[in-house]
Amino acid sequence: MLGKVSRRWLSITLNHPVKPPFIPLVSENGFPGAIGQTPLLKLPRISESVGRNIYAKAEFMNPGGSIKDRAALYIINDAEQKGLIKPGGTIVEGTAGNTGIGLAHVCRAKGYNCVIYMPNTQSKSKIETLRLLGAEVYPVPAVAFTDPQNYNHQAKRHAESLENAVWTNQFDNIANRQAHIETTGPEIWAQLDGKVDAFTCSTGTGGTFAGTSRYLKTISNGKVKAVLADPPGSVLYSYIKSNGKDIVRGGSSFTEGIGQGRVTDNLKPDLDIIDDAIRIADEDSIAMVYRLLDEEGLYLGGTGALNVVAAIKVAETLPEGSNVVTILADSAHKYADRIFSKEWLKTKGLYDAIPDHLKKYATLD
């Protein structure tokens, strides 16, 4: 019996030879080595609707489920290389969720403790996920960065109160930006064989947008257009459109982890390469969540949906056939109890923004 099974599989192998560009990914060090090298997905129906090619990096396929796995790994590696953390130490961060989840995964893999401070406005499932990963979680009131009780400042003070601990400071730690200069940007360039006309995505820390844009701008000799996408309530749109003269505050968004009330150290080095900024309304983002599910089979959170809306708007300014790349930051799993809840959508004034034929996906009460 074993001989027959062996011959059968041998026959299948010979009839279906493995040919390049198949590259088997084997991580010898577990979770950390599996971060990155995510697929770049063309969105066929959306691309056809605009006559341009919309490509999106499937960052929800990172082992921790989001683009923030990249920053988490680079930030911890940087702390190790600088001798800031020793075995058995504690990593402390202030985060809206995904960076914390990435850090918690990497901490478990490397043997560190993990402490997370986050705004208590974030989804319950993010908090639960962090605790399931062994992190010590402190949900605190959401207040402005200028307030001493802002979750970032509380995280810093917590780290300073411990021995052998590091506040990873994702917003201003440029190891975050470096992760995307060394991985995300090169991957996109290689995946499209250098045929990249524009890149756009939203920003939280600024690391993804700044690092990826810097790499693509540099390798293309400035030819790749870099456009920042911003949700309501963020100041970056006004800052960039006014060439740094205005900071317009006010407003809010249902999206989590993006938008900013200041210019972070991750974004500052690349302000000069930003070609434009666009503001995306919540109504457009929520409608795209449902459209991506229905048309492309993609179950995404609000950030990824906002990024696709931005990519379409950028594509419409370019010649037909152009290639525009964006980021699918994470899946909808952590937000499903909100964005697919008819009741929640109505309280936010977003239910009517969803096309009638797509409201069938709002299945939660």
- State how far the Cα of 68 lies from the Cα of 62, in Å rounded to an integer: 9
- Residues 242/287, Cβ–Cβ less than 8 Å: no
- Residues 70/340, Cβ–Cβ less than 8 Å: no
Angle of helix 68-81 relative to helix 98-110, nearest 10 degrees? Answer: 50
Selection from 189, 176, 202 nearest residue 328 by Cα? 202
Active site residue 68: yes
Q: 57, 68, 217, 313: which is the annotated catalytic residue?
A: 68
Question: Is the dihedral angle over the CA atoms 187, 188, 189, 192 positive or is it negative?
Answer: positive
- Please list, in sequence order, all residues whose beta carbon lies within 8 angstroms of the beta carbon of residue 308, skipping any fewer than 6 positions away: 43, 46, 54, 56, 288, 292, 326, 328
- Please list, in sequence order, all residues whose beta carbon lies within 8 angstroms of the beta carbon of residue 180, skipping any fewer than 6 positions away: 70, 71, 207, 208, 210, 211, 212, 215
Tally of CB atoms within 10 A around 188: 25
Active-site amino acid positions: 68
